[in-house]
Each structure stands twice: as C-alpha cells, then as structure tokens.
Amino acid sequence: MLELAILGFLFDTPLHGYELRKRIAALTGHVKPVAESTLYPAIKRLEKAGLLARNTEPGSVAAPRHVLTLTEGGRRELRRRLAEPDPRDISDENRWFTVLAFLRHLEDAGAQSAVLRRRLAFLEEPASFFYDGDRPLRAEELDDPFRRGLLTIARATSRAELTWLRETIASLDG
C-alpha cells in the first residue's frame, strides 16, 4: 500500500519526502500513520528499482531539498499495480482506498471497470464479522447492541459502495 501511494502521488507531481509523507498520512489517516523509518526505506527501494529519481534542489531557507520524481518505469509500474491489484488490495478497506485514489491513472476504462468488478464481487459475497458456525450473522440476529451497531454501520457503508460501484461500472462500460 505504501509503495502504491508513493507511486500514485509522484505520478501527479514531483514532491520532496516531507510533502509526500504528509499526503500519504492524509490518505491513510490515523489508521496507518507513516513513520519516516518506513517511508524512506520504501523510497530507497523504489529508487533502486529505477521507478523514481531523486534530484537535489536548493532550499529556499534551509539545506538543499531532495525532490522525488516518477520515472517512466515508475509510471508503468503504477499502472501495472492498479490493473492487477493484490487480493488484499481489493478486500482490505484501507488498501482499497489507496487503489481507488489512483485508479484514474489507469487510463483504459475497461481496465478500470475490471478492478471495480473485483471489488463488487468481493462485496457481494455474504460476509459478517460474526458467525454461527459457517453462517454469517446479520445485525438483527445479535443481542449485543455494539456488535449490532457495527454490522448496521458496515451494511450501510457496503450498500452505499455497492450502489457507487454499479453506477460507475455502468458508466465506464458505456
């Protein structure tokens, strides 16, 4: 998810590490804070793979700044990752939001639609956070008001996303 976010934000514009970190933190929120000890090794891996380049520019007040730019190979890699997301990128909500944030960079509407269809298929599977054996439990079957609340909120969120997915897929498919 972190590498995808780095590639996605740099696709839009060159950034220095601090600004990149702020944008990733804004996308992932408090759920997955980005530490420098995580971000900079990921940047180095992507740089070593030839997916991004580092240029030094003079600082306006302080020391020179390292500005990161996506290479053509980085652009291809971002599009590949968007077209072929890992199953966890489809099922995990935070990872999915990262894919969704940059899916516009996958320029083929059919490819965008295919990714959305994978998420749609995942959401259409009967699921719950709580089970009776192998059978998923519905909110109405729970006595615990907190678990019932969790399932009620999850169902409303899923319904909204399902509606959006179906409308967007229809639009992309023309």
26, 37, 94, 114, 164 from 33: Cα distances, Å: 9, 11, 12, 30, 28
pLDDT digits (tens, 9 = 90+) for 1-22: 899 999 999 999 999 888 998 8
CA distances from 12 to 23, 49, 101, 133, 164 (A): 12, 20, 12, 47, 25
pLDDT reported for residue 162: 96
With contact defined as beta carbons under 8 Å apart, do 142 and 117 qualify?
Answer: no
Tokens standing for residue 88: 């966890």
pTM equals 0.85
Tell me, what's the pLDDT at 58? 73
- Dump pLDDT digits (tens) for 47-67: 999 999 998 877 666 677 789
Q: What are phi and psi of 16, to 5 degrees?
A: -90, 160
31 pLDDT more than 60: no
d(CA 97, CA 28): 8
Confidence of residue 33 (pLDDT cuts 50, 70, 90): low
Mean pLDDT for the chain? 90
Three-class DSSP category at 84: coil
Beta bridge partners of 54: 68
